Amino acid sequence: MSRLAATLTIACVLGSALLLIVLNQATPPGSAAHVSTYAVSLAGKYLSYAMLALAVDLVWGFAGILSLGHAAFFALGGYAMGMYLMRQIGTRGVYANPDLPDFMVFLNWHELPWYWWGFNWFPVAVLAALLVPGILALVFGWLAFRSRVTGVYLSIITQALTYALLLAFFRNDMGFGGNNGLTDFKDMLGGISLQSDATRCGLLLATAILLSAAFLLTRAMVLSRYGKVLVAVRDAESRTRFLGYRPERYKLVAWVVSAMIASIGGALYVPQVGIINPGEFAPANSIEAVIWVAIGGRGTLSGAILGAVLVNFGKTLFTGALPELWLFALGGLFIAVTLFLPNGIIGLLPRRKDAAVDEPEQPPVLTTSEAAAREVTS
């Protein structure tokens, strides 16, 4: 990916977020240029999804790991943020219990479970959003990659992972609000109301900034020598082993980073949509994320962002008019892209020859003739 493409991507992400914010804040409601707060949060939601797509693309596009369970990491990040927001409600819940969230009072619980401790502090929630999915990914990836589980088998166990979490989070006795999940949030960061326009604008800006940061991080990774090895593992894993590499370690690094990026996406998503429930673990969500990436352009980080935003924008328009037909439309789009645009939408743009590995480092030609002397002996 050229520097220009990367700059354009970040300019688009930050620029469109800023534009929406300005149009929301600086124009009076009712004027033609005004952007509703609802639209601001909708954009924030799309950009959170774009982080999930970026995470999927890092492992699928560059390491060849087709994860069909990445929404699990997204949802875990969402729950970490949801728990923090629940604790901020304090005595303003229906039961006005100072120590317990409403759903726990309803279940007749008398004390806060240990895993809720500390979640009234924002840094703890942030740490949990990074560490819980990170450690889960580390353990899962270590077991799977070390056993050389690849291809469709790996995809299936990632589905099993998210499905298992779906079932677990549905249970009331897990202490995460069961079926209803966590909702009715009031404010965050010492009393900033989640309903205010300014907060919604701030959340959109934060999402745009963190998405850009995640983009730069993943870009640096795939352009480094590490990224080249990762692509080599994707294309010829056993060859890398006979060169002395341990592919499982390379995959594990990408896998864990990817899980954490997905999780941050989820943590940003929850305050903007106002709810997190076990439905976010649904296997279909993970599959949708893969489709965004395929449509945008697998193996092109910008494409993943573009795919997530465009498809979800389409979904918003489409489900307004014909909600029951959305899945058919998405499926049709996926098939059409697979057949006619193997490099996704981004493949339509004028760009350099190679989509998958980005621009190779230009090897400088030696100016001296000393290389001639260096034959096999060295």
Partner 1 sequence: MTAIGPTSDTVLYVNGVTKVFDGFRALNNLSLVLRPGEMRAIIGPNGAGKTTMMDVITGKTRPDTGQVVFDADTDLTKLDEPAIAQLGIGRKFQKPTVFEHHTVWDNLLLSLAGDRAPGFALFARQTKAERERIEGILRTVRLMEHRNRRGGDLSHGQKQWLEIGMLLAQEPKLLLVDEPVAGMTDHETAQTAELLREINRTRSVVVVEHDMDFVRALGVRVTCLHEGSVLSEGTIDHVSADPKVVEVYLGR
For partner 1, the binding residues (CB under 8 A) are: 221, 224-226, 228-229, 231-232, 235-236, 238-246, 249-250, 253, 354, 356-357, 360-364, 366, 370-378
Q: Are 38 and 195 in contact (CB under 8 A)?
A: no
Q: How far is the CB of 227 from partner 1 (least distance, A)?
A: 8
- Of 247 and 283, nearer to partner 1 (C-beta) is 247
Residue 227 vs 266, nearer CB to partner 1: 227
The two tokens of residue 213 are 């940061």
State how far the Cα of 184 lies from the Cα of 52, in Å rounded to an integer.
24
- Please identify, using beta-carbon distances, which residue of 339 and 372 lies nearer to partner 1: 372
The CA radius of gyration of the chain, in Å to the nearest whole number, is: 22
Based on CB atoms, which residue is closest to partner 1, 49 or 250? Answer: 250
Smallest gap from residue 262 Cβ to partner 1 (A):
20
**Shortest distance (Å) from residue 221 CB to partner 1:** 7
Q: C-beta of 312: minimal distance to partner 1 in Å?
A: 30
Helix 71-89 × helix 37-63 angle, to 10°? 140
Looking at beta carbons only, is 146 or 171 nearer to partner 1? 146
Min dist. Cβ of residue 354 to partner 1 (A): 7
Instruction: Using the minimum distance from each CB to partner 1, give the nearer residue, 339 or 376.
Output: 376
Residue 167 neighbours by CB under 8 Å, 6+ apart:
none
Q: What is the chain's length? A: 378
Q: Which residue, 247 or 271, is less far from partner 1 as judged by CB? A: 247
Q: Could you tell me the smallest distance in angstroms from the CB atom of residue 245 to partner 1?
A: 5
Q: Quote the tokens at residue 169.
A: 């989070």
357 token code pair: 């590995």
Nearer CB in complex with partner 1: 147/193: 147
- What are the tokens at 227? 């990224």
Residue 244 vs 320, nearer CB to partner 1: 244
Q: Which residue has the tokens 């809720």?
A: 116
Residue 109 makes CB contacts below 8 A (sequence gap 6+) with 100, 175
36: tokens are 């509703």
Contacts of 50 (CB under 8 A, 6+ apart): 13, 211, 265, 304, 305, 308, 309
- 303-to-8, 169, 209 alpha-carbon distances in Å: 12, 32, 18
Long-range residue pairs from 231-234, CB within 8 A, at least 24 positions apart, any chain: 231/62, 231/356, 231/357, 233/63, 233/64, 234/62, 234/63, 234/64
Give least dist CB 360 to partner 1, A: 5
In the complex, what is the shortest distance from the CB of residue 378 to partner 1, in angstroms, rounded to a whole number?
A: 6
Question: What does the DSSP assignment read for 183-202?
Answer: E---EETTTEETTSHHHHHH
DSSP 365: P
CB of 60 vs partner 1, minimal distance in Å? 15
Q: Is 351 helix (H, G, I), strand (E, B) or coil?
A: coil
Instruction: Give me the least distance between CB of 148 and partner 1, in Å please.
Output: 11
> In terms of CB distance, is 31 or 362 closer to partner 1?
362
